[in-house]
Structure 1
């Protein structure tokens, strides 16, 4: 069930919020768990058994591991087994076909592949489970005594589809006792509506532009057409994923939880390193805490630092998808970030702020080409179009048409990817007092009306990160 489906917006979401709000405090978690399991099973109830198996084996195993915490070797054995088991489940469903395809290509075999749909949210809830196992083992937190509360942590419906990946230590207190308030609820509503507008009004329209460009026969296009297309995808993936994150965080506030921001205007960054501190923040923090730092982080020799960055970014790429283009994309950023920390450090310190922002945007845009095209031939062809190396020139009629018909949505999207819009809303609230809140309320009502009208008239458009 997508956050932008009419069933979710007008049935599940309001009913879930109402039931949770009026439920007695003692049973709120149980009610929310049942709602979350219903939400999860909506698309494919078969995988409900899989997620409950992971939850059960992890809960029992971690409690046993903690009970023998003084026997370090035995406790470590439990920790390793639990992590390996959960990673193995993720790897089987996500990388089984990719592995067989590569075995067939390398050894010229003809092994058959069973078509296994990717379980909904498995990449996200597996990382939550792994962080829980590691944190209890390292004594950052204590195990959850209640099986039902732990199951709620893993399956809570706002996070299950595409994060944010909130670590158990950051939710522990609110699972036990959280307070609902008018202020929290109001902020959550604003956050949710803003995210809905990002997805429906901007991301979905950017997707149409990108689909038109990407679908051109043999990628025959002018340089300007290629740039319009990849800029559209750059905006699409940002508004799509940050829109989902805003909606998830907003629902969390309405349920009494306070989850940190998952995006912090990444397109105003001045380096690739800064970009990844601002983009998908919860995933970046996960990789730092559970892979990069345990490997030694940056407090080691240059060779080991390169190894650590290489491992993290190869895994980052592979996490995003079972295809070589994702691995190449991850290593692309890994190499750039390593160079920024070493060779380019002195050079970049002397550059002006605007130049560094342009540099970062180009790095990111070129990276999105690797991210979205799965064929090396397509990647090289599209790059040649960007740099006017093809036979289609700088400008063609398609580029003129795309600009003429879409500039009214592209320009606001570019502005919306900066802090300007939210600052303007805050200024209106503070400058005009009650009238300011009235104007902002009208603004949000307009977003809802336009979003619903758009959803009624268009085909289903799932969030991009659901497939990861």
Structure 2
């Protein structure tokens, strides 16, 4: 059924995920049978190879054409690489299958000899398209022994509705504001508008991606699976290091366990540690997309983490929390401009506008786009970026509040939220999740 789901969206590209499944299934058995290095190398070369071809060949050849064009060298046929389709979910399922073969190689898990079980792990539809990145060892037992209970299904439905609301009610409305501000010409972009656009995009990407993760986790619970959490209120962090412990947790932990630590981590001196961080964040940026903006975005985060390790982090722990939090939000807003822009020149022009107070703010633009609905959404986004809902649920559990009337209000509230989302779906234009691009 997961393969049918994938075929519905990708048609013939389903062949790629089937081939990927067969190869990594075989590599796991090869490693288990004693030919450990052969199996591991085959898996890594194949997965990196298909990522390089489908995701990065266009980027490489476009830059190569531009470079050789400086010397009047014509490579018209190389333009064909820019039209290669990017298969949905390829960045996620390749990382999942690589983690599987690496864990088999390390002896942390045994190879699965049941092809159907392994294929189910690779193609599991709730999180296949955009994560969270689920490691085989975290759901190994659940593939064979799942228990679907009423309480688990209740949690799943609630989590799914919350994720859907994040996407339809908050992310899409923030996208409307962010897209219009980022499309303005530099001459029409005042500093307040530029900051408003960066903040709106910050809310958009957070509620869009965490909304998808919530929906995936909720669907998983309906099927008896417990997927790992992917977000933990990242905008409440007070440093970039803490931010990455809260943002896209399954990706940052993947890079830590399968790249940073094998490179030596922080065990080989300060210089090697900083080099390792640069490599990790260079690849983190590149993983998000084949564009220099993503690479610079990754290196920007890596540079700030290095600065924090050099002593700035210790200062952040001593100064008032509000100042440390302002530093985090300021840095993240700058980084989102890099992430959102189509090119580095666009990003630079936008960042310059954020600190330039020469252009007057277009009041007519604000009145047109910043409607009462959007103002309410921005306020909701600010409040819900903090663990308010989580604290209310925790309080209800710890105080044993089980009043049937209160429980009815909760159920009615979730149902109303779901119906409101359906109205937005009915009238909204096609608006896919941001991370479908990656």
Equivalent pair of 1:213/1:226 in contact (CA under 8 Å): yes
Partner of 1:84: 45
Instruction: State the Cα deviation string for residues 252-289 of structure 1 (Å, max 9, x = none).
Output: 11100111211000000010000010001111110000
Are 2:168 and 1:207 equivalent residues in the alignment? Answer: no
Q: Aligned partners of 2:367 and 2:266: how far apart in 1?
A: 48
Are 2:49 and 1:113 equivalent residues in the alignment? Answer: no
CA 361–392 in structure 1, closer or farther in 2 if over 3 Å, else same: same
- How far apart are 1:178 and its partner, in Å? 1.0
Are 2:316 and 1:324 equivalent residues in the alignment? Answer: no
Are 2:17 and 1:46 equivalent residues in the alignment? Answer: no
Equivalent pair of 2:292/2:344 in contact (CA under 8 Å): no
Equivalent pair of 1:315/1:330 in contact (CA under 8 Å): yes
**Correspondence 1:9-408 to 2 at 5 A:** 35-68=1-34, 74-108=35-69, 109-110=74-75, 111-114=78-81, 115-218=83-186, 220-389=188-357, 391-393=358-360, 396-405=363-372, 406-408=374-376
Instruction: State the Cα deviation string for residues 387-430 of structure 1 (Å, max 9, x = none).
Output: 125x3135644235444542111101111111113333554675
- How far apart are 1:190 and its partner, in Å? 0.4
Q: Name structure 1 gaps, 5 residues minimum.
A: 1-34, 69-73
Q: 3-state SS of the aligned residue for 1:51?
A: helix
Partner of 2:377: 409
- How far apart are 1:197 and its partner, in Å? 0.4
- Output the TM-score relative to the length of structure 1: 0.89
Q: Aligned partners of 1:434 and 1:323: how far apart in 2?
A: 53
Partner of 1:26: none
Equivalent pair of 2:152/2:221 in contact (CA under 8 Å): yes
Equivalent pair of 1:324/1:374 in contact (CA under 8 Å): no
Instruction: State the Cα deviation string for residues 340-389 of structure 1 (Å, max 9, x = none).
Output: 11231332232111111111111111100000102222112211221125
What value does the CA root-mean-square deviation take over the aligned residues?
A: 1.5
Q: Aligned partners of 1:225 and 1:354: how far apart in 2?
A: 24
Q: Aligned partners of 2:223 and 2:343: how far apart in 1?
A: 43
**Number of aligned positions between the proteins:** 428
Q: Aligned partners of 1:351 and 1:309: how far apart in 2?
A: 25
**Among 379, 395, 405, the residue aligned to 1:435:** 405
Equivalent pair of 2:28/2:112 in contact (CA under 8 Å): no
**Among 427, 430, 438, the residue aligned to 1:460:** 430
Larger mean Cα displacement after TM superposition, 230-239 or 111-120: 111-120
Partner of 1:451: 421
- How far apart are 1:219 and its partner, in Å? 6.0
Partner of 1:16: none
Q: Name structure 2 gaps, 5 residues minimum.
A: none
Q: 3-state SS of the aligned residue for 1:112?
A: helix
Equivalent pair of 1:202/1:409 in contact (CA under 8 Å): yes
Equivalent pair of 1:41/1:48 in contact (CA under 8 Å): yes
Q: Aligned partners of 1:400 and 1:222: how far apart in 2?
A: 15
- How far apart are 1:432 and its partner, in Å? 6.0
- Output the TM-score relative to the length of structure 2: 0.94
- How far apart are 1:172 and its partner, in Å? 0.4
- How far apart are 1:218 and its partner, in Å? 4.2
Larger mean Cα displacement after TM superposition, 304-313 or 370-379: 370-379
